[in-house]
Amino acid sequence: MHLATISASSSAPSVFLLGLKLLLACLAALPGIAPLMAQQVQDPNQAVRVRMLDGGWLEQDGQRMRLAGIMLELAEGWKTYWRVPGEGGLPPRFDFSGSVNVAEARLLWPTPKRFSDPITGETIGFQYRVVFPVLARPDDPGKPMTLRLKLDYGICGQMCVPMRAQEEITLPADASPDEVQRAVLSEWLAKTPQHGEGRLQIARARLMKADDGLVLEIALQGEAAPAVQDVFVEGVELAVFGKPDLKPGGRGALLARIPVRGMAEEKDFSGKPLRLTIVLKGEKAVERLVKLP
């Protein structure tokens, strides 16, 4: 079984994009979303709601997988964090080990946003609403699955608070999906980074010294390079990667110079593989791996 606590993800399947009118109607149909988002809430226990969604079956890499998801709805002024939270915050940890008839539960991470806060500094995460898609594979396809979640995460508003939630959802073997939930999950599935995007390549990656510390320079090229808006970096313990300075690099290339903060030293980067989540316009992203010399 593959049900360990999750703090990382594999690729998402390609999905069709639903029309904007349909998505807006579907989101409005989910009970309680708009009222919570509109409220100014000071009590952390009232600032977030967690629920699980069922999106029905889909084909992924030749396998029949069940599309489920975890929705966090956040009140106005509150945010939660990505798997790499930035200078502050608590990354979420998803534990599906109590699930029944689930051979695999693969969590996918949607494209995050970058925030600047006078208290926590520069952080990476989500506000208002985030849905983490889950691809679940049963042990016995003829029986229902029960997906049980233990979630440890953090939220931050006027204060920053560690939170815990326990939720479960039964996924029937043959029932038709709820079309509203399927539409919401399809929207967020489309926001998870793609691996097969051939219009963007990494031409070069190097670590440089600067007057105020270290800088990671990434040279990007390809048709999608002009659409790059942000780059999130992970892979070196004790290193915090800041917002990139994006500049043309000549011959259609784009240079991303990323400040490196934290306690990591230059020697800690030698030969290390880095995972890059490269954000494009329209809340899309691609994921690339690069190894420093």
Judge contact between 231 and 253, C-beta under 8 A.
Answer: no
Place of tokens 């979303």: 33
**Residues 182-241: pLDDT tens digits?**
999 999 999 999 887 678 999 999 999 998 899 999 999 999 999 999 999 999 999 999
Residue 28 has pLDDT above 80, yes or no: no
User: How big is the CA angle at 79 (ends 31 and 228), to the nearest 5 degrees?
Assistant: 105
**Residues 242-275: pLDDT tens digits?**
999 999 987 778 999 999 999 999 999 999 999 9
Q: What is the pLDDT of residue 58?
A: 93
**Residues 141-181: pLDDT tens digits?**
999 999 999 999 999 998 899 999 999 999 999 888 899 99
How many whole angstroms separate alpha carbon 103 and alpha carbon 2? 6
The domains found in the chain, sorted by start residue, are: 20-189 (2.60.40.1250), 201-291 (2.60.40)
Cα-based distances in Å from 46 to 35, 36, 40: 12, 9, 10
Q: What is the pLDDT of residue 197?
A: 67
How many whole angstroms separate alpha carbon 218 and alpha carbon 282? 22
Confidence of residue 36 (pLDDT cuts 50, 70, 90): low
Q: What is the pLDDT of residue 53?
A: 98
Q: What is the pLDDT of residue 190?
A: 94
